[in-house]
């Protein structure tokens, strides 16, 4: 299933980024969270053998 449970809220993301000098609005934070959660989902996967194309 492609569902990712997100516990970091948009508001929290805005605060964390702002603390680090990145100013984003809620719309931007939402899409940033979407990207980072997507990447994190695949971050710790065990390494697979490279599949060769036909």
Partner 1 sequence: MIKGLHEPLISESLFYQVQSVINTKRKTTAKRDDLQSLFFLRGFLTCPICNRKLVGSISKGRSKKYPYYHCRDGCKTRIDAISLNNCYQKKLQQFILSNNTIELFKNILEDQNIKTLKASYLYAQKGLERKINEEKLILSQGRKLFITGILKIDDYNELKRENQISTQNLKKEANDITAKLKGIDKKNQIEDNTLVKIFERFSEFETSDKRHLVNLIPPTDIDFKTGALSLDLNQAFLKILSKKNNRKTKKNEFH
- Rounded-to-integer distance, Cα 47 and Cα 5, Å: 23
Q: How distant, in Å, are the alpha carbons of 6, 28, 46 from that of 16?
A: 15, 13, 29
11 part of the interface to partner 1, by CB under 8 A: no
For residues 39 and 4, the answer to whether their CB atoms sit within 8 Å is no
Asked if 3 is part of the footprint of partner 1 (rule: CB under 8 A), the reply reads no
CB of 44 to partner 1, least distance (A): 6
CB of 19 to partner 1, least distance (A): 7
Binding site for partner 1 (CB under 8 A): 2, 4-8, 12-13, 16-17, 19-24, 27-29, 31-45, 47-48, 50-51, 53-54
């Amino acid at each position: 299933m492609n569902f990712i449970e997100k516990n970091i809220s948009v508001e929290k993301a805005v605060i964390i980024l702002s603390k680090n000098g990145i100013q984003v609005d809620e719309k931007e934070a939402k899409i940033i969270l979407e990207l980072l959660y997507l990447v994190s989902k695949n971050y710790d996967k065990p390494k697979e053998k490279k599949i060769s194309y036909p």
